[in-house]
Structure 1
């Protein structure tokens, strides 16, 4: 029986993208609801589909009896034998029911059941589809606005972009294209609710994954993102490969990639900086685009640090209304105070604070009160110190160990800057020169004084001790000779020295 209702439901479900299994279940529930409305219950009703699922039939299963008490579930033997001559009492027959026999009320009830089933199925199906898309970017079109909330046409469903998730610099009009992040998917009595956002930090992350292949394939990873929507965003990135510059990959050739991101974010400023596990260097990077001369840790436990900048960089480091330093605080998770060189010179930084700096950025066991790193020199040019550090010269002793020729070959550092640095070291660092003792200890008591053998050696012009002379090992007392480099008994190293007369 290919009914009009079956075809109508098939068409309806096909348009809404529901699976065939759910289509058949909806048809079955619809016919059972009509049967129940017509006969009181549907316990003995059976719905069957043809092999190609194009036709559907509903049957009433009746038991053959001798005397009918319930005409819905029983059939008399004589009536049954008219349908099947071999029928016997106790057997069961399936009698096809024509839906045309259902009254109007039964059909109406079946339609309501069908519509309700379709709505629930569609809601469940869409929920399963969109719940896995949370955290992904989706594109829709502006439909309407109500109380600040924008309703976005996403195709199968309607998304909402609440006022709190809208960037303050963005203005939309009807049919405008909107790219947003899916943050929530909820079931409501009115249908599926998809909540969108353009202010989440994950929205920035998803945009970079779309625009930067290295971020998408995890060659470059985003350590952390902080954002003041509509004004400024800071990203800390690092690379999993030494040959890939994380900042350069995000900026792109001639800034193509970062410009695409800025356009999508309606001109919001974006600072991309390199993540560094060293908190002091990370703080320096986080205050970009300002150039920081030095960073002093005031309290490691409380994550308090001081950034020293030149007078010309102070306003840039702090930013408009303190935005730059505020975002830097959130990015590095430290409380950063920005001071100029003059302000820092007036501050009383205790020796305990200086010790905390050394213990955090150096070797605690080798700490002393003396300056050991070039960057710690008072008044040092940070650009010179950074250029030296890039070339593997971080400590003062490394600098002093190099010849003037090698120092002159360092890129980015002029001879005049070398001389200024050398003068700073002389003024601030006490240099102790240790005499280097060549060779091992000389045991003069065991070396023969001048005598016949010595005279014979001088006459022959020899410069070594006679091989026949024997001595005692100073460690174990074993017999040794001057041609030995180690004791044959205990293995201690040996060295003999003498003076020409």
Structure 2
């Protein structure tokens, strides 16, 4: 069969559009068929069921009207009687469709314009889908592009097969871009939006620096060295923690490179950002000492429950440890994931003296003893009246200058003081309207019940509705700074595990859950373990 020029032209247009937009040729031909179908309906009636077939090899186009086979015709435009249908196809049954050939049609100006709009819309949708699918899989990668334009501080980057945007807050400070500049950025998000896929790029993201090191350091690319954490103050300073999986490879030296060539390549891309390369350690204290470099650290005290770390530095190292505008300690906090308090040796000494004095005063008032006896108890490590009251008498009597009689008297006074204080707290609890049943929860003291009552937590139902954060408080990290929010029991030393256990007990007593709900997962785990052992 000879192929007409119009048919060849149709296929050539489809091929050209598919190449230009980087989409499948079949999608373009399908869009053309939809456009012709819309134009045909405008001529034969919108209710008409029209099918358009375009031969992808020859370009031949066929228009057919589909009629549903029925026993009673209600709309002749879309239905055909069973008898007439069987004249065309003896096997026709109700519910089948009969295709009637339609003559070729000439497009008028309006129909052609409408068809063009359909094709453009379909091609644009296909192009957007292709861009989204392509760049969705590239999230977490570095891409190269050319600056296309700058709008209100946001940089639009031509990525070849799509456009990305570097928002103003994702650019390194004091960095300027002009039309045609080559730019390298990190793809951190791709979203499907009404106006098409939005590809968000960043030059301030911590992983941008990590990926640059991966490109510059073959040992990282090969997996010999692992980047464990990154913290950045974009354009100013950064810290990166690395560890080697091979004891013969120095992770810091490999990242620095010969005469600093590798790290300088990354510094150059980041507009002169100073980079501290730190050996990572599983020991939090050791890691923190490394993270605070170049400052020297005298002592580290960890509080794992509060996720805080206290660092003591020599007096002359304080400014170096904190850094300009707190930069060094802020980056160290981001890198380690711990809240860091920095004290000088003098400040720590003053604080210890203050704590010693406060404990001594507590013992003087509670036990009705003179200052010397109170200081002896504090210096022996007793931190509270409860400790004095309930330790073995021999432990108190073993203190130099004390005997059994003195120890017994001191402990009696301690217990009397605690009983008196307990009665005062209980009276206050009753006045606040805190339920007696809350006393049944292990770990809750009368003083804690008073604190709960002051926060309007007065019944078992109220307590069962709490989360651990409501009791012990929580921290939120934003812009490199951590803000602490107190809970109802923040002033008491309660761990998160203990708070969870208390809430669980309250929900059990309130009838919200049963013991089976608590034991269920463990029972299943035990059964799975037994099954695995039997299989072995």
TM-score (norm 1): 0.60
Q: Paired residue for 1:166, among 171, 176, 189? A: 171
Residue 317 of structure 1 corresponds to 321
Q: Paired residue for 2:352, among 348, 359, 371? A: 348
Residue 19 of structure 2 corresponds to 14
Write the deviation string for residues 374-432 of structure 1: whole angstroms up to 9, x where unpaired: xxxxxxxxxxxxxxxxxxxxxxxxxxxxxxxxxxxxxxxxxxxxxxxxxxxxxxxxxxx
In structure 2, C-alpha distance between the alignment counterparts of 1:88 and 1:344, rounded to whole Å: 99
Aligned residue runs from structure 1 range 177-192, under 5 A: 177-192=182-197
2:136 is the alignment partner of 1:131: yes
Tell me: CA distance 1:342–1:26, structure 2 relative to 1, closer, same or farther (3 Å): same
Q: CA deviation at 1:233?
A: 0.7
The answer to whether the 8 Å contact 1:298/1:305 transfers is: yes
The answer to whether the 8 Å contact 2:14/2:29 transfers is: no
Tell me: CA distance 1:243–1:42, structure 2 relative to 1, closer, same or farther (3 Å): farther
Q: Paired residue for 1:245, among 245, 250, 269? A: 250
Tell me: CA distance 1:168–1:51, structure 2 relative to 1, closer, same or farther (3 Å): closer
In structure 2, C-alpha distance between the alignment counterparts of 1:117 and 1:72, rounded to whole Å: 27
The answer to whether the 8 Å contact 1:310/1:340 transfers is: yes
2:45 is the alignment partner of 1:27: no
In structure 2, C-alpha distance between the alignment counterparts of 1:184 and 1:353, rounded to whole Å: 58
2:233 is the alignment partner of 1:228: yes
Tell me: CA distance 1:154–1:188, structure 2 relative to 1, closer, same or farther (3 Å): same
RMSD: 3.6
Aligned residue runs from structure 1 range 86-97, under 5 A: 94-97=100-103
Q: Give the secondary structure class of the aligned counterpart of 1:107.
A: helix
Q: CA deviation at 1:295?
A: 2.1
The answer to whether the 8 Å contact 1:297/1:353 transfers is: no
2:289 is the alignment partner of 1:284: yes
Residue 300 of structure 2 corresponds to 296
2:265 is the alignment partner of 1:265: no
Residue 395 of structure 1 corresponds to none
2:155 is the alignment partner of 1:143: no
The answer to whether the 8 Å contact 2:312/2:345 transfers is: no
Q: Paired residue for 2:117, among 112, 117, 126? A: 112
Write the deviation string for residues 215-265 of structure 1: whole angstroms up to 9, x where unpaired: 223221111111111111111111222222211221122211111110010
Moved more, 224-233 or 190-199: 190-199
Residue 334 of structure 1 corresponds to 338
Aligned residue runs from structure 1 range 29-48, under 5 A: 29-41=34-46, 44-48=49-53
User: Unmatched 5+ residue regions in structure 2?
Assistant: 93-97, 357-377, 382-536
In structure 2, C-alpha distance between the alignment counterparts of 1:238 and 1:87, rounded to whole Å: 79
Tell me: CA distance 1:50–1:240, structure 2 relative to 1, closer, same or farther (3 Å): same
In structure 1, C-alpha distance between the alignment counterparts of 2:379 and 2:116, rounded to whole Å: 79
Q: CA deviation at 1:90?
A: 9.3
Q: CA deviation at 1:198?
A: 0.8
Count of matched residue pairs: 343
Instruction: Report the structure number with the largest CA radius of gyration.
Output: 1
Tell me: CA distance 1:34–1:256, structure 2 relative to 1, closer, same or farther (3 Å): same
Q: Give the secondary structure class of the aligned counterpart of 2:352.
A: coil
Q: CA deviation at 1:168?
A: 0.7
Q: Give the secondary structure class of the aligned counterpart of 1:199.
A: coil
TM-score (norm 2): 0.57
Q: CA deviation at 1:94?
A: 4.6
Aligned residue runs from structure 1 range 456-475, under 5 A: none
The answer to whether the 8 Å contact 1:185/1:194 transfers is: yes
Tell me: CA distance 1:143–1:107, structure 2 relative to 1, closer, same or farther (3 Å): closer
The answer to whether the 8 Å contact 1:307/1:336 transfers is: no
The answer to whether the 8 Å contact 2:68/2:78 transfers is: no
Aligned residue runs from structure 1 range 73-92, under 5 A: none
Q: Paired residue for 1:216, among 201, 221, 245? A: 221
Write the deviation string for residues 415-454 of structure 1: whole angstroms up to 9, x where unpaired: xxxxxxxxxxxxxxxxxxxxxxxxxxxxxxxxxxxxxxxx
Q: Paired residue for 1:99, among 101, 105, 108? A: 105
User: Unmatched 5+ residue regions in structure 1?
Assistant: 81-85, 356-501
Bigger helix share: 2
